[in-house]
């Protein structure tokens, strides 16, 4: 592996061990934010392994995992600890790909496959030991929550009738659509986790270590032929034949998320080119991710870049 060992200072090791153990412990304490916090596990592992090398990085990860196990045992949050630990191999896979100078697409594909497999195996173990974690139980719990939310709105007399009708329609459609797109929702957690690890890991290692395995995120680009995956999945989604239509809808969501990532990279490219201050960038990033219209714009930009080459990345130097 083309990687240099860089030992952290003795006092710094304790800081890194405490940081990694906190990442493993915190999801069990604040379980409603579990999936969001859990996404940082591969990121931290990647930074330690790629930044300090496998020898020093493994020591930090091992010591942090042992410390987190002891604390989680006394807090009685071991199930959350083991689920957080299931994300650890993804950080190893991405760090190994980075050390071998493998490309972004290859690294991302291996990271997605690793994380998806680990989560699937862990979830399967939960279903065997406790049926409350089954796929159907997850759907039922979400639908029950939507029913409770709908009843709360109906008993709220301060909501105008017109607004209540719109809310009821929205919640009813969500209740019907959720079981259909749940596979895409679960897979999107995998995509977002790997994306977070590679993008921010690449940025943080460049900033604090002075080297990074891949080009900056503003230059990230999907293969041009990938647009056919978007077209094919859209065609399948329009077919009134089941389960082909459902498969097409889920594929369309997953492929669209990748093009949204590309659209966001184009926005970052021009924000950097125009030297836009962070105080103005941050609200725009938040609006683009949270607002449905913002994500739609990013999707359109990402797809349009296939033909328009908005950053002129494919232009040959003169």
Residue 56 and residue 53: Cα distance in Å, rounded?
Answer: 6
For residues 4-8, average pLDDT: 59
Q: Which pLDDT score is estimated for 318?
A: 45
Contact assessment for residue 266 and residue 251, using Cβ atoms and an 8 Å cutoff = no
- Give 155-168 pLDDT, tens digit per residue: 887 888 888 888 88
Q: Which pLDDT score is estimated for 165?
A: 87
Would you tell me how many other CB atoms lie within 10 Å of the CB of residue 251? 20
Q: What is the CA radius of gyration of the chain?
A: 22
The secondary structure of residue 216, as a DSSP letter, is -
The secondary structure of residue 32, as a DSSP letter, is G
Q: Which pLDDT score is estimated for 315?
A: 66
Q: Does residue 19 or residue 314 have the better pLDDT? A: 19
What global pTM score does this model have?
0.87
Phi-psi region of 212 (alpha: psi -120 to 50; beta: other; left: phi over 0): beta
Residue whose structure tokens are 């980075």 = 98
Phi-psi region of 290 (alpha: psi -120 to 50; beta: other; left: phi over 0): alpha
- pLDDT band of residue 27 (cuts 50, 70, 90) is low
Q: Which pLDDT score is estimated for 191?
A: 93
- C-alpha angle 56/57/60, rounded to 5°? 90
Residue 179 and residue 157: Cα distance in Å, rounded?
Answer: 31
Q: Which of 311, 253, 308, 260 is nearest to 285 (CA)?
A: 260
- Give 136-160 pLDDT, tens digit per residue: 888 888 888 888 988 888 888 788 8
- Answer yes or no: is pLDDT of 96 > 50: yes
Long-range residue pairs from 75-80, CB within 8 A, at least 24 positions apart, any chain? 75/25, 75/28, 75/29, 77/25, 77/28, 77/29, 77/31, 78/28, 79/28, 79/126, 80/27, 80/28, 80/31, 80/34
Residue 291 and residue 318: Cα distance in Å, rounded?
Answer: 41
Q: Which of 60, 50, 115, 117 is nearest to 87 (CA)?
A: 115
Q: Does residue 84 or residue 128 have the better pLDDT? A: 84
Distances (CA, A) of 188 to 40, 46, 166, 219: 15, 20, 27, 22
Contact assessment for residue 163 and residue 138, using Cβ atoms and an 8 Å cutoff = no
Q: Does residue 285 or residue 110 have the better pLDDT? A: 110
Residue-range domain boundaries for the chain = 1-209, 215-318
- Give 228-259 pLDDT, tens digit per residue: 999 999 999 998 888 999 999 999 999 999 99
- Range name among 214-223, 270-279, 288-297 with the lowest pLDDT average: 288-297
Q: Which pLDDT score is estimated for 48?
A: 92
């Amino acid at each position: 592996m083309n990687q240099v060992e860089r030992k952290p200072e003795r006092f710094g090791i304790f800081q890194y061990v405490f940081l990694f153990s906190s990442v493993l412990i915190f999801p069990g304490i604040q379980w409603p934010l579990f999936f969001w916090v859990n996404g940082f596990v591969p990121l931290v592992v990647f930074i330690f392994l790629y930044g300090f090398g496998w020898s020093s990085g493994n020591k930090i990860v091992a010591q942090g995992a042992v410390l987190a196990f002891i604390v989680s045992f006394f807090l009685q949050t071991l199930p959350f600890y083991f689920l957080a630990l299931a994300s650890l191999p993804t950080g190893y896979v991405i760090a190994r790909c980075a050390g071998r100078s493998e490309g972004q697409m290859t690294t991302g594909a291996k990271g997605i496959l690793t994380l998806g497999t680990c989560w699937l195996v862990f979830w399967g173990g939960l279903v065997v030991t406790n049926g409350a974690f089954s796929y159907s139980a997850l759907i039922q719990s979400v639908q029950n929550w939507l029913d409770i939310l709908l009843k709360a709105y109906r008993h709220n007399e301060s909501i105008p009738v017109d607004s209540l009708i719109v809310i009821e329609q929205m919640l009813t459609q969500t209740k019907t659509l959720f079981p259909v797109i749940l596979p895409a929702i679960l897979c999107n957690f995998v995509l977002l986790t790997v994306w977070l690890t590679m993008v921010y890991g690449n940025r943080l290692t460049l900033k604090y270590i002075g080297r990074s395995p891949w080009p900056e995120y503003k230059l990230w680009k999907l293969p041009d032929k990938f647009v056919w995956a978007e077209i094919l999945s859209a065609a399948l989604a329009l077919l009134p034949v089941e389960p082909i239509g459902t498969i097409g809808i889920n594929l369309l969501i997953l492929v669209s998320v990748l093009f949204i990532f590309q659209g966001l990279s184009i926005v970052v490219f021009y924000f950097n080119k125009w030297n836009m201050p962070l105080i103005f960038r941050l609200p725009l990033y938040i609006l683009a991710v949270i607002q449905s219209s913002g994500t739609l714009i990013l999707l359109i930009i990402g797809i349009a870049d296939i033909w328009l080459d908005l950053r002129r990345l494919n232009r040959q130097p003169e």
